[in-house]
Amino acid sequence: MSSDAVEQLENFQLIKFDRFDPSTQSTIRIARSPKPIPVKVVIVGDGGCGKTCLLNVFATGTFPEAYVPTIIENVVITLVTPTGQIAAVTLWDTAGQEEYDRLRPLSYSDVDVVLLCYSIDNLSTFHNVADKWYPEVAHFCPNTPIILVGTKSDMRRHQKSQPHFVSPQDSSQLARQMGAVMNIECSAKEVSNVNIVFDAAVSYCLSNSRPKTRGDNDNNRSNRRLSRAKRASMFIRGKDVSSTSGNSREELVEYDQDGLAIIPDRKKRKCSII
């Protein structure tokens, strides 16, 4: 990772979390520990793009060798900061297959941050981020922070010919269109940047927490969803939307050569299923 990328992460107030093991804590320490802050992270993307491997490596440290399609699965991990702040993180793994389209929205309730995943060696998974996943998230979770995650980054080094790979430039441009708070590549197989993905997600939630709200009225919500979905769809078809009117936040996002992106704090709302 370049020095610029490291500096951006420092400006992002990235917290290096440790696993909280109550068995190693004294009774006094447990009694004085603050109430854990709940954080819900939902992982979405095409089936087989590496979502489950990413979650498993972070949660258990093991890489699944066999592919088993997920329906909806969640795991709770307790993380603690160096200052003693505790976060109870619920990680939701979702099914990317079309047959689960009506079931998947159940996982979006009260989400704090969404990880939009694609595989860097599969262009169709990248295209579907804009054509399917981002519009879906914008519909059910308007203004929820998004982190764009390119999985299987180890493939760039292991394959000489990469004409079908997603370029860092394309992923950075899509992240701008979506207003993602971060754009990063990782490898669950090599355990590269895995912790950074989740540490960044939790760090953002802790540093930008807001009281829960019911959101705007139905008309404003519908207009915002249409605008965000249209912008993503226009980008993936090669149109320039940087000069369009509206509430685009593209000019607020800065990216470096590693594809990391951070934008200033902005108000977010919890999602609701309608």
* pLDDT value at residue 35: 81
In terms of DSSP H, where are the helices of the chain?
3-11, 27-32, 51-60, 123-128, 134-140, 155-158, 168-178, 194-207, 218-236
Average pLDDT for residues 4-20, to the nearest whole number? 51
pLDDT at 118 over 80: yes
Average pLDDT for residues 41-60, to the nearest whole number? 90
Residue 34 CB partners (closer than 8 Å, separation 6+): 84, 85, 86
Among 72-76, 238-242, 254-258, the range of highest mean pLDDT? 72-76
Average pLDDT for residues 257-264, to the nearest whole number? 43
Average pLDDT for residues 194-205, to the nearest whole number? 90
* pLDDT value at residue 114: 96
Give tens-digit pLDDT for 75-105: 888 888 766 778 899 999 887 666 667 778 8
* pLDDT value at residue 18: 64
CA–CA separation, 192 and 181 (whole Å): 20
CA–CA separation, 260 and 256 (whole Å): 6
CA–CA separation, 37 and 242 (whole Å): 37
Of residues 7 and 58, more confidently modeled: 58
Superfamily of domain 3-262 in the CATH hierarchy:
P-loop containing nucleotide triphosphate hydrolases (3.40.50.300)
Of residues 178 and 208, more confidently modeled: 178
Give CA separation, 47 vs 51, 105, 106, in Å. 8, 16, 17
Give tens-digit pLDDT for 206-246: 887 654 443 433 444 344 444 444 444 444 333 333 333 33
Least confident residue range of 15-19, 67-71, 255-259: 255-259
Give tens-digit pLDDT for 122-168: 999 999 999 999 999 999 999 899 999 999 999 888 776 666 899 99
* pLDDT value at residue 183: 95
Confidence bin at 28 (pLDDT 50/70/90): very low
Average pLDDT for residues 31-47, to the nearest whole number? 82
β pairing state of 146-151 and 113-119 = parallel
**Average pLDDT value over all residues in the chain:** 71
